[in-house]
Structure 1
Amino acid sequence: MTSESVRPTTGPARRTVIAAAGAAGLAVALTACGDDDDKAKPVGSAGTVLGRTSEVPEGGGKVFGDAGVVVTQPTAGEFKAFSAKCTHQGCAVKDIANDVISCPCHGSEFSATDGSVKKGPATQPLPAEKITVEGDTITLT
């Protein structure tokens, strides 16, 4: 018979405990950094009532943050909708005035008429969203 040294195993190995603690700390750090209110939310689902036409000024627009959509009114009675997520780094667009949709994070500007880039750093237009206007109600379709 050979005599071997046997260690009793009463719990996880030291390496396992250290690795788990490190992973937990990293998860907490990533979670804290990942929740940024300036980031646009995903686009709402079809059938979502966004709001009233009276909320969207002519030559301007309104961001419907819960749905991740910006609705503009380039000319009286003409309503357009785009993703509220800037194509540069995903921040939520905020201001719409004088036919321009502006992103506060890095200064990108988009056309309120067709979503095209008017000023970078963004290089891609805002994706169009489908809406219907019935009476004074704007609905995502």
Structure 2
Amino acid sequence: MPDFPSTTTRRQVFGGVTAGLVLPCVLAACGQSSPGGSPAPSGAGSSTPPPSANPSTPSGPLAALADLPVGGGKLVDGVGGRKVLLVRTSDTEVKGYDPTCPHAGATVQPPTGSTIKCPLHGSTFDAASGSVTGGPAKTGLKTVAVKVEKDQVLLA
């Protein structure tokens, strides 16, 4: 065992050993740098292709209007792997919501009648407006702009 001065504590010894082990790990987690020492540009050194020029536009319709019964809804894939809750409020109108409950982040379920419910803690939301109708959530669902064109539901 190394000879330490009598005033050195175990905490100082093990703290130094821990720092010696952790520091390289922390530095490795910081990512790659360009030759000038600044962070590498996004996507550099990875096999992931850069995002498309307009990542907010999906390549096609979210759903067919016929797949959404009036008064009902459906969870669909939106942009970037995010879900969208589509709710058909009339023969020609569809509302879009972020299905993330503002209370605890659970995914709300498609409506039953005029109510959207969170299965985690029971918060309820109005299907036509997304506003909160029963807690514990304090705010309503965030809207996602959608439109109906040629019997297809698209992001607006």
Tell me which interval the TM-score lies in, with the shorter structure as reference length. Answer: 0.5 to 0.7
Q: What is the CA-CA distance between 1:98 and the residue it aligns to? A: 0.3
Listed as ranges, the gaps of 5+ residues in structure 2 are: 1-15, 27-54
Question: Secondary structure of 1:69's partner?
Answer: strand
Listed as ranges, the gaps of 5+ residues in structure 1 are: 1-12, 24-43
Is 1:69 equivalent to 2:84 in the alignment? yes
Q: Percent identity at matched positions?
A: 31
User: Between Structure 1 and Structure 2, which shows a larger proportion of strand residues?
Assistant: 1
Determine the structure 2 residue equivalent to 1:109: 124
CA distance in 2, matches of 1:137, 1:77: 11
Check the 8 A contact 2:126/2:132 in 1, yes or no: yes
CA distance in 1, matches of 2:85, 2:129: 12
Query: 1:61 is matched by which residue type in structure 2?
Result: G
Pick aligned residue for 2:150 from 106, 129, 135: 135
Determine the structure 2 residue equivalent to 1:46: 57
Q: What is the CA-CA distance between 1:17 and the residue it aligns to? A: 5.3
TM-score, reference length from structure 2? 0.60
- Cα RMSD after superposing both structures: 2.4
CA distance in 1, matches of 2:108, 2:126: 12
Determine the structure 1 residue equivalent to 2:19: 16
Determine the structure 2 residue equivalent to 1:57: 69
CA distance in 2, matches of 1:46, 1:122: 30
TM-score, reference length from structure 1? 0.66
Q: What is the CA-CA distance between 1:139 and the residue it aligns to? A: 0.9
Structure 1 residues 137, 67: closer, same or farther in 2, change over 3 A? Answer: farther
Is 1:83 equivalent to 2:94 in the alignment? no
Q: List 4+ stretches of structure 1 deviating above 6 A.
A: none
CA distance in 1, matches of 2:99, 2:154: 16
CA distance in 1, matches of 2:18, 2:82: 45
Number of residue pairs aligned between Structure 1 and Structure 2: 109
Bigger relative contact order (CA 8 A; separation at least 6): 1
Question: Secondary structure of 2:111's partner?
Answer: strand
Q: What is the CA-CA distance between 1:19 and the residue it aligns to? A: 4.3
